[in-house]
A and B are shown apart, each in its own frame.
Chain A
Amino acid sequence: MDISIYLLVIVSLVLLGLTLLLFVSAIFIRLRHRKWAADIDQYRKKMLPHVLNYLEEGDEKEVEEQFTGAKLEYYAFEKIVTEMLSQVEGNEAKKLKELLFLDPIFDHHYKLLISNDDVDRVKACNYFSNVRLVNFKIIKKLKEYLNSPNQMLVFSAATALMGSEDVNLRVEALCSIAKKNKISDMALIELFHKFHSDEDDQNEVEGEALKAVLENQDISSENRALFIKSITEIGYYNLVDYLLEKLKEPTKDWDHPEILIANIKAQGEFNNIKSVKVIRTYLDDESPEVVSAAVSELSDYGSEDDLPYFKYLLGHSDNKVKKAAVYALLQNNVKETEIVHEVPESDMRTITKYVMMYMNENRDRKHS
């Protein structure tokens, strides 16, 4: 037989064998997954009555005794408890969290946390975000991971630290993350929401603690602005005066358009009447975005004193300012004809467009 036929047979067999191997692997994975799902289901059926019993009677030993050391039960137990946690609040939630603190499950996750595998570490971080963080060794490890090159681990570690009741620890984590350039705006907003406790009485303490983040010089102006927006949205009212001071006499770190805009908007959102005078000083700022923000906020207060200056701003070189001025004037019941009358021929087209845009939006708003 020719040598090429041997080659043909070998190539065919190798590739066919590889295909079969892949096929069998796929089947094997599916079967293993099915078994895993069935085992979890069975475990849930076994464990759930004990957990419910614990919630009623408070005997955690009964739950602890169910642990046998099998790998599956850590995952399954955590899944059961976290699922239940998303459905209960208050005392029951607290009690459930205590369950996650049981020795076998805690030790297992501690081992994952100190392992060399980032995936295991992330799993551990997810777990620790649900338990009260009091163990110094764990906190130290989590802080260490804030400097990891793996952004997923950084975010997970920060999330875990946000679960702490110690506001200073949360602030420290937030600060550390905010110094990073790689973190996205939305990830930072998410962390800020995780920083914010659901307990209303915490607002003041958290607000005070946040000053340390805002004062940190290593934080970029974009991130500082983002924090101001989040502060405004969540409603840390005790920071209004502090922010107003920063607007009145901005230091080098605070004198950036995006920070000034966020701060001006914050004053408006907090309805801080004391800020009007300060905001007026920004009507001739060199940044058109800042001027637009100042015009928009002042227009909400409806002071007639500002209208002549708004009219003056119709002739501003930047279209954003023109638009803000048109909107501000219309919002304060200045007639369209009066606005159009104020502008030179060259700007007529642009101003008319903004007038129409305002009227469209206004009509739509009223209708809906």
Chain B
Amino acid sequence: MAEIREILQQFVNFMEPAEWLFIGYFLAVNLTYILLVLISFFYIRHQQNYYQVFNLKGLFNSNLYKPISILSPAYNEEVNIIASVDALLQLHFSDFEVVVINDGSTDNTLKLLLDYFELYEIDKPVDLPIDHKPIKKVYRSATYPELKVVDKENGRKADALNAGINVASKDLVCSIDADSILEPDVLLKLLKAFMEEENVVAVGGIVRIANGCTIEDNIVKKVDLPKSYLGRIQTVEYLRSFLFGRVGWDYLNSLLIISGAFGVFDKKAVVEVGGYLHDTVGEDMELVVRLHRHFKEKGVPYRVRFMPEPVCWTEVPEDWSVLGRQRNRWQRGLADTMMRHKKMLLNPKYGRLGMLAMPYFFFIEMLGPVVELFGFAYFLIVLFLGGFNSTFVLLFLTASVFLGMVLSVTSVLCEELSFRRYPTLGNIANLTLYAFLENIGYRQIHTWWRFKGLIDYIKGDKEWGVMTRTGLASKSKVNKGFKKLKESISSFFGSLKYWAVIYGTMIIILALILHVLINNGVIPDVYSIIRSKLGI
């Protein structure tokens, strides 16, 4: 025991000079967030006031508006593919096509498409400005001429999207996930970005969580919160990330991320920069950063926008291990993008992008988990050794938890001021509750996933990881019987360690509060009183 104490004490001595780093990091992160919140709060209201301006009269009578190709990569999507493509074909827009890219599926995805949409073979494109794995065949639907299906060798999402871009015949390309659910008027709403400004090269819309919603024929009929703890926590995360993160960066003209689940790009611009990268797991962010870099270096005016009104619904993982893998991949993608474009970091040549957005993503988003994790470890050990002013630790923790909560609840308020997609007062109360709970335990686990992602990136891991989806509207029989039971049991035991962390964090905080209150005489030390009464 004495040896362990000594090792821990050495660690504390070693980390002591970093105390100010933790506090500085804490201040920098929270000040940035507060700044983004304030910007977004006013900017979203400002945008809201002008939503009625572009009431388009000519769109459905003209071919001069920018037409859109929707690119939907599909890999083993037999459960949802027909409903998903059917819904895409029903979107309200004047001139669009749907390009489904069957990325070497090993199930019946292609067969189902062939039969249902009466596909016939057409010639493969001759001009292939972007590289990708070979295209086997290209089909067009006899019933929906605006539907093309590309059958190609497997090469992951980025590769499939590149093939889709080569086959796409319209000015704009909209990349989505195969299980993304677009609202019917989503393209009309996105088009506003191109109405407002001429040089827009990319636009992202808001991604909302479909778990818990009532979905029929791949259309969200009734919005509700997910039932699970993880689903609800992610709802708060997504609201915060989109409604004040991206809105704020959009205002600062420094948006670096457009979600892979839903983004529209100018095809010419994407071809000009060479399309999506194949050897990264963060291809969506990397493409946006490369577009920024390309146009900045060329000195050509351009804009990358975020529009909070057009909605794409997506399924999020409600299983700890799947979520962990997803966050790990996101962190690796972020690190990869940062390292590929490190030239832009703190480089005034790239303006606000180099001096503000890149440092934020590099130091706070990428390196943040390292500082946070060491911070958590340091405080725990110091507490264990009893060499710290416990009131100060509690003060720091309280500020950290409550500030996190204030920021998350602000995004709930932003939602209320603008879109009000969650219909009941109970939803608002739940979101507020989970904004609080998120900071106790989950945040620490999330930091660990991100930290591990960073380590995996350094080790050179470029694997996508298995993403299990349960299917939103699926009436799939795949997960029935014994298999499902086995999965449930394995998921239960897999999640135990995470719950242990959450309850552990709660216990530590409660113990700390009790300790501070007893030490300061706010509540009596019952334990000591009993001991003295008993004469022990």
**Known A122-B50, A190-B57, A360-B126: A16·B413 in contact at CB below 8 Å:** no
B268 at interface (Cβ–Cβ under 8 A)?
no
| Contact B428 A22, beta carbon cutoff 8 Å | no
| Contact A11 B62, beta carbon cutoff 8 Å | no
Q: What separation, in Å, do the CA atoms of A356 and B122 have in the docked complex? A: 13
| Contact B412 A194, beta carbon cutoff 8 Å | no
Q: How far is the CB of B166 from chain A (nearest CB, A)?
A: 13
B386 at interface (Cβ–Cβ under 8 A)?
no
Q: What separation, in Å, do the CA atoms of A152 and B54 have in the docked complex? A: 9
> Of residues 385 to 420 in B, which have CB atoms within 8 Å of A's CB atoms?
389, 391-392, 394-395, 398-399, 402-403, 405-406, 409-410, 412-413, 416-417, 420
Who on chain A is nearest to B417 by CB? A29
B122-164 to A contact mask, C-beta < 8 Å, 1/0:
1111110000000000001010010000000000000000000
Who on chain B is nearest to A368 by CB? B145
Cβ contacts under 8 Å, B436 to chain A: 19
Q: What separation, in Å, do the CA atoms of A186 and B53 have in the docked complex? A: 14
**Known A26-B413, A156-B53: A357·B126 in contact at CB below 8 Å:** yes
Query: Chain B interface: which of A1-9, A106-114, A206-214?
Result: A1-9
| Contact B398 A8, beta carbon cutoff 8 Å | yes
Q: What separation, in Å, do the CA atoms of A363 and B123 have in the docked complex? A: 8
**Known A360-B123, A360-B126: A26·B412 in contact at CB below 8 Å:** yes
Q: What separation, in Å, do the CA atoms of A192 and B64 have in the docked complex? A: 11
Cβ contacts under 8 Å, A309 to chain B: none
| Contact A122 B126, beta carbon cutoff 8 Å | no
A230 at interface (Cβ–Cβ under 8 A)?
yes
Query: Chain A interface: which of B3-11, B195-203, B208-216?
Result: B195-203
B264 at interface (Cβ–Cβ under 8 A)?
no
| Residue in contact with B61 in the complex, picked from A5, A18, A126, A193, CB distance below 8 Å | A193
| Contact B50 A27, beta carbon cutoff 8 Å | no
A155 at interface (Cβ–Cβ under 8 A)?
yes
Q: What separation, in Å, do the CA atoms of A356 and B522 have in the docked complex? A: 86
| Contact B64 A230, beta carbon cutoff 8 Å | yes
| Contact A7 B395, beta carbon cutoff 8 Å | yes
B49 at interface (Cβ–Cβ under 8 A)?
yes
**Known A26-B409, A26-B432, A364-B140: A11·B395 in contact at CB below 8 Å:** yes
Who on chain A is nearest to B199 by CB? A184
**Known A186-B66, A186-B191, A353-B127: A367·B122 in contact at CB below 8 Å:** yes
B520 at interface (Cβ–Cβ under 8 A)?
yes
B45-82 to A contact mask, C-beta < 8 Å, 1/0:
00001101111111101111110000000000000000
| Contact A26 B416, beta carbon cutoff 8 Å | yes
| Contact B405 A189, beta carbon cutoff 8 Å | no
| Residue in contact with B65 in the complex, picked from A25, A186, A353, CB distance below 8 Å | A186
| Residue in contact with B58 in the complex, picked from A155, A185, A189, CB distance below 8 Å | A189
Cβ contacts under 8 Å, A22 to chain B: 406, 409-410, 412-413, 432
A15 at interface (Cβ–Cβ under 8 A)?
yes
Cβ contacts under 8 Å, A360 to chain B: 122-126
| Residue in contact with A189 in the complex, picked from B65, B409, B416, CB distance below 8 Å | B65
B367 at interface (Cβ–Cβ under 8 A)?
no
A48 at interface (Cβ–Cβ under 8 A)?
no
**Known A8-B394, A27-B428, A357-B126: A18·B416 in contact at CB below 8 Å:** no
| Contact A364 B123, beta carbon cutoff 8 Å | yes
Q: How far is the CB of A246 from chain B (nearest CB, A)?
A: 20
Q: What separation, in Å, do the CA atoms of A18 and B407 have in the docked complex? A: 10
**Known A4-B389, A5-B520, A19-B406: A190·B395 in contact at CB below 8 Å:** no
> Of residues 146 to 204 in A, which have CB atoms within 8 Å of B's CB atoms?
151-152, 155-156, 159, 182-187, 189-190, 192-194
| Contact B398 A155, beta carbon cutoff 8 Å | no
Cβ contacts under 8 Å, A23 to chain B: 409, 412, 428-429, 432
Who on chain B is nearest to A119 by CB? B49
B179-197 to A contact mask, C-beta < 8 Å, 1/0:
0000000000001001111
Interface residues of A: mostly helix, strand, loop or mixed?
helix
Q: What separation, in Å, do the CA atoms of A15 and B404 have in the docked complex? A: 10
Q: How large is the interface on A (under 10, 10 to 19, 20 to 34, 35 or more residues)?
A: 35 or more
Cβ contacts under 8 Å, A137 to chain B: none
| Contact A15 B398, beta carbon cutoff 8 Å | yes
B91 at interface (Cβ–Cβ under 8 A)?
no
B521 at interface (Cβ–Cβ under 8 A)?
yes
| Contact A233 B62, beta carbon cutoff 8 Å | yes
A12 at interface (Cβ–Cβ under 8 A)?
yes
Who on chain B is nearest to A364 by CB? B122
| Contact A4 B49, beta carbon cutoff 8 Å | no
Q: How far is the CB of B448 from chain A (nearest CB, A)?
A: 25
Who on chain A is nearest to B146 by CB? A368
Interface size on B, residues (CB 8 A): 60
**Known A25-B413, A233-B63: A11·B398 in contact at CB below 8 Å:** yes
Q: How far is the CB of A151 from chain B (nearest CB, A)?
A: 7
B425 at interface (Cβ–Cβ under 8 A)?
yes
B516 at interface (Cβ–Cβ under 8 A)?
yes
Who on chain B is nearest to A129 by CB? B55
| Contact B52 A4, beta carbon cutoff 8 Å | no
| Contact A122 B58, beta carbon cutoff 8 Å | no
**Known A119-B49, A152-B53, A190-B54: A4·B196 in contact at CB below 8 Å:** no
Q: How far is the CB of A124 from chain B (nearest CB, A)?
A: 12
Who on chain A is nearest to B58 by CB? A193
Q: What separation, in Å, do the CA atoms of A5 and B402 have in the docked complex? A: 17
A224 at interface (Cβ–Cβ under 8 A)?
no
Of A23, A33, A126, A356, which is in contact with the most chain B CB atoms at under 10 Å from its CB? A23
**Known A22-B409, A22-B413, A27-B425: A185·B198 in contact at CB below 8 Å:** yes
| Contact B49 A122, beta carbon cutoff 8 Å | yes
B503 at interface (Cβ–Cβ under 8 A)?
no
A143 at interface (Cβ–Cβ under 8 A)?
no
| Contact B195 A186, beta carbon cutoff 8 Å | yes
Q: What separation, in Å, do the CA atoms of A333 and B389 have in the docked complex? A: 91
| Residue in contact with A1 in the complex, picked from B52, B62, B140, B521, CB distance below 8 Å | B521
**Known A23-B428, A30-B428: A184·B395 in contact at CB below 8 Å:** no
B120 at interface (Cβ–Cβ under 8 A)?
yes
A311 at interface (Cβ–Cβ under 8 A)?
no
Cβ contacts under 8 Å, A7 to chain B: 395
Q: What separation, in Å, do the CA atoms of A184 and B66 have in the docked complex? A: 12
Cβ contacts under 8 Å, A33 to chain B: 420
| Contact A229 B399, beta carbon cutoff 8 Å | no
**Known A11-B395, A23-B428, A353-B127: A30·B53 in contact at CB below 8 Å:** no
| Contact A126 B52, beta carbon cutoff 8 Å | yes
| Contact A30 B58, beta carbon cutoff 8 Å | no
Q: What separation, in Å, do the CA atoms of A122 and B48 have in the docked complex? A: 12
| Contact B123 A194, beta carbon cutoff 8 Å | no
Who on chain A is nearest to B398 by CB? A12
Q: What separation, in Å, do the CA atoms of A159 and B57 have in the docked complex? A: 11
Of A19, A185, A359, which is in contact with the most chain B CB atoms at under 10 Å from its CB? A19
Cβ contacts under 8 Å, A1 to chain B: 520-522
| Contact B64 A189, beta carbon cutoff 8 Å | yes
Cβ contacts under 8 Å, A368 to chain B: 140, 142, 145
Q: What separation, in Å, do the CA atoms of A359 and B126 have in the docked complex? A: 11
Who on chain A is nearest to B409 by CB? A22
| Contact A12 B194, beta carbon cutoff 8 Å | no
Who on chain B is nearest to A352 by CB? B126
Cβ contacts under 8 Å, B49 to chain A: 119, 122
**Known A152-B50, A368-B140: A29·B413 in contact at CB below 8 Å:** yes
Who on chain A is nearest to B121 by CB? A367
Query: 25 interchain pairs (CB within 8 A)?
Result: A4-B391, A7-B395, A8-B398, A16-B402, A19-B402, A22-B432, A23-B412, A25-B416, A26-B409, A26-B413, A29-B413, A30-B416, A119-B49, A122-B49, A122-B52, A159-B55, A186-B64, A229-B64, A230-B62, A233-B63, A353-B126, A356-B123, A357-B126, A360-B126, A364-B122
- CB-based closest 3 A-B pairs: A193-B58, A15-B402, A360-B123
B: which residues have CB within 8 A of A? 49-50, 52-59, 61-66, 120, 122-127, 140, 142, 145, 191, 194-198, 389, 391-392, 394-395, 398-399, 402-403, 405-406, 409-410, 412-413, 416-417, 420, 425, 428-429, 432, 435-436, 516, 520-522
